[in-house]
Structure 1
Amino acid sequence: MFSPRCGYCGEAVVEKCVLALARAWHPEHFFCYECHSTFNGSLTVHEQNGKFYCSICYFTRFGTPCSGCQQPITDAYITALDMPWHKDCFTCHSICFQISQALLTNYVIFS
């Protein structure tokens, strides 16, 4: 009987098998390229250039940084002044009032 080869180690996968990117993987060899956390079904898997990443590592490496806090943007955000911002980071620091969407004339919210 033919057994597929693991995409990581090249050995035969004879018991449990993970199929991803048209290849078979031993479950213990299907992990994040950056932090080496195994994908056990509870983590979202992102692929970039044939490598797998957990959400944290993917957005840290490939995500757009917020113009306010410099942390990766992982969900809905605002573009203002031609820069991306987390909704909570887009505030006025010098006049001390919350910027409401009614005051803005040139902004876009992405989700």
Structure 2
Amino acid sequence: MPRSRMLEYDGAAWHEDCFLCSGCRKPIGSEAFVPDNRRFYCLACYEQQVAPRCSHCRKALTKGGLTYRGEVWHRDCFLCCGCGSALAGQTFTSQGERPYCVRCFSSLYAKKCAACNTPITGFGDGKYVSFEERQWHQPCFKCSRCSVSLIGSGFFPDRDQILCADCNSDD
């Protein structure tokens, strides 16, 4: 067509007036656009009609973001359900469908070590020993009298104590 500029994208060519937004049908021209499954959208139509919506704020997610349990989130909207701190880029866990930072999860849900009474989170040195209703961090699983490690050896429960074979035979 005379006096019409040719536009090229991804190996295809269009007349300037034929390269239209799939949403509003206006010519895109030299404006920014977003390709989506062989369709092209001006930025406004992409945000209004096509872009995924953040599960928290419901605004269009146009760059970055993250996916958690099949839902998309802005990085700043993905927050701990306990304290409200941002979880993007840090270790977190969940209780049911709700995400928590390690600190909140530990204080709200984690079992406490029978020796040191701090949470057993499963993060870092997360190995632990469980016996009946009690749990211990591996480094805390020691004889209550002589403090020898009981990992890999027999032990004897004595009310709220755990004893190695030597200390148990001293009784």
Q: How does the TM-score come out when normalised to structure 2?
A: 0.50
Instruction: Write the letter of the residue equivalent to 1:4.
Output: P
Residue 18 in 1 paired to residue 66 in 2? yes
Is 26-35 or 56-65 further displaced after alignment?
56-65
Higher RCO, 1 vs 2 (CA within 8 Å, ≥6 residues apart): 1
CA-atom RMSD, angstroms? 2.6
Distance in 2, Cα, partners of 1:63 & 1:81: 16
Could you tell me which runs of 5 or more consecutive residues in structure 2 were left unpaired when the two chains were aligned: 1-45, 163-171
* Structure 1: 4+ residue segments shifted above 4 A: none
Residue 73 (structure 1) shift:
1.0
Q: CA deviation at 1:103?
A: 5.8
Which one has a bigger Cα radius of gyration? 2
Which residue number corresponds to residue 113 of structure 2? 66
1:104 equivalent in alignment to 2:152 = no
Q: CA deviation at 1:21?
A: 1.3
Q: Go from structure 1 to structure 2 and tell me whether the alpha carbon gap of 1:103 and 1:25 turns closer, same or farther (over 3 Å shift).
A: closer
Residues 139, 149 of structure 2: 8 Å contact kept? no
In the alignment, what sits opposite 1:49? 96
Q: How many residues align?
A: 104
Taking structure 1 as the reference length, the TM-score comes to 0.72
Task: Tell me which protein shows more strand as a share of its residues.
Answer: 2
Bigger fraction of residues in helix: 2
